[in-house]
Amino acid sequence: MPGIFSEEHLDIILQGGMVIFMEIYLYFQGLYSIMILSIALFAFMASGFRIAKAGSRACIIVLGDIGRSPRMQYHALSLAKTGFDVDIVGYGGSTPHSDLIENDKITQHVMSDPMTLPGVFPGLFRYTFKVMYQIAQLFFVIFVKMKWPSHIFVQNPPAIPTLPVAWFASKIYGSKFIVDWHNYGYTIMALTNKPTSPIVRLAKWIERTFGPRADGHFCVTDAMKKDLAQNWGVPKAITLYDRPPEIFKPTPLTEQHELFSRLSKDYPVFASSDSSPQHTVFTERKSSRSITKRGDRPALVVSGTSWTEDEDFSILLNALESYEDAISSGLSLPNLVCAITGKGPMKKYYMDIIAKKNWKHVKICTPWLTAEDYPKLLGSADVGVCLHKSSSGLDLPMKVVDMFGCGLPVCAIHFNCLDELVKHNENGLVFHDKEELAQQLQDLLCDFPEKQKQLETFRDNLKSFQELRWEESWNNTVRKTLYI
């Protein structure tokens, strides 16, 4: 049986201690009227505490662009379907999925971007200021704007300041504190700072101190589950694999034609050379009004990226250069359109490199797609490419999950636990460097579109993956633990 000062009772001790201290202080100050009012206030808080313990209101803290946090959007939608009222807290920038926007049980609390200080201030001071600003934002939303949450879900990373703020809020409200471990935040910080730097060491300490204090833990791989148990003191984390929702599926031919037609207005690589409104570079409308794929169409390769340091995009550019050279040398390969989706800090750097390329057979475009058009593009593509390399070696790229949901075979760069998702020569291919990727693209697309034997095999093997969707997986894992 847990002791009175155990973690299980810490929230009660904190609240009770605050009440007793305040009432004693007011009594000795002779502020009896305020004392009576505060007792009424604390009684109201106690009723909220009881509601929180058995309630159905969830707070989801993203501390990032809500529209670019699909897994947390899926959590919100699943909780709403279960009957929860959901508050999702984060920043703007991208438009979330329409299902989330239109759901009456989900309220978005979009915070303004943190103030940034001029570069004349030291980096550590600017970072500290940003964190303090974010703490103030979170406190205002959680303790002023929102109603009592029964559950607080936190996306990690980032750990600072979300983990300590969420832990504190859970103790004040009596909420169930749940961490969804996507990765380790300190390993991402170590990409741009020395692993031994004070800021990385502090981040690691905060993550290791407050993360394990949560009441529930979900993670994205079995490898992370094992690491949490062995090295973080979290023995009961539950693996909740990313699974695609129903919107990720092969795109019907008529929808492909409509998508390519719309995209061609902003991105000429999708337009037919004859400029006919009935044709795109991939599809054409016959006189019978039926849509068919063009026999002379290029191959469509799609790669999603956040344009960050953990993705070396030069690997794909070098592989495409080799592909261009292979066609020029006479190999039987189709022309290729490479659509690179996403946005991030290193996009301009790579766009400048792409602009200098003068390829004849390979075309690159970087469309920014709506949440509704992104799965349609994946479901229309021939090959997906993933350059994500986990900073911890323990997470999986969600973009591959989306591609697999659409039945799209993938070439993915190798890292430690990738085989939990990509099975080499079964549902895709794994490469280690630019030479391997270049060869894989050429092997997959040789004599395309007439011959697609290996691609068709991969697509057939992905059908079993497509059977288990997010909602079923969530109900089998998260739902049954909400009140444990």
* HSE-up of residue 391 (Cα within 13 Å, Cβ side): 17
- The tokens describing 169, both together, are 């809020």
Separation CA 312–CA 414 (nearest Å): 12
pLDDT confidence of 285, banded at 50, 70, 90?
A: confident
- Output phi, psi for 107, to 5 deg: -115, 125
Average pLDDT, the chain: 87
Separation CA 272–CA 275 (nearest Å): 5
Q: What is the pLDDT of residue 195?
A: 84
Q: What is the pLDDT of residues 228-248, one digit of tens each?
A: 999 999 999 999 999 988 899
Q: What is the pLDDT of residue 8?
A: 47
Residues 6+ apart with CB under 8 A from 183: 156, 157, 220, 390, 391, 392, 394, 395
Q: What is the pLDDT of residue 39?
A: 65
Q: Is 423 helix (H, G, I), strand (E, B) or coil?
A: coil
Q: Is 121 helix (H, G, I), strand (E, B) or coil?
A: coil
| Local structure of residue 175 (DSSP, 8 states) | P
In Å, what is the CA distance from 302 to each residue of 245, 249, 336, 375, 386?
19, 15, 10, 11, 9
Q: What predicted TM-score, i.e. pTM, was given to this entire model? A: 0.81
Query: Which of 38-42, 115-119, 315-319, 406-410 has the weakest average pLDDT?
Result: 38-42
pLDDT confidence of 15, banded at 50, 70, 90?
A: low
pLDDT confidence of 380, banded at 50, 70, 90?
A: very high
Strands 106-111 and 151-156: unpaired
Q: What is the pLDDT of residue 174?
A: 84
Q: What is the pLDDT of residues 437-481, one digit of tens each?
A: 999 999 999 989 888 899 999 999 999 898 899 999 999 999 988
* HSE-up of residue 412 (Cα within 13 Å, Cβ side): 30
Where would I find the beta strands (DSSP E) of 131-174?
A: 151-156
Of the ranges 41-45, 50-54, 403-407, which is most confident?
A: 403-407
- Which DSSP helix (H) or strand (E) runs through 127? helix 123-140
Q: What is the pLDDT of residue 359?
A: 92
Residues 6+ apart with CB under 8 A from 26: 32, 34, 35, 38
Share of the chain above pLDDT 70, in %: 90
Share of the chain above pLDDT 90, in %: 57
Query: Which of 88-97, 288-297, 368-377, 436-445 has the weakest average pLDDT?
Result: 288-297
Q: What is the pLDDT of residues 320-335, one digit of tens each?
A: 999 999 999 989 999 9
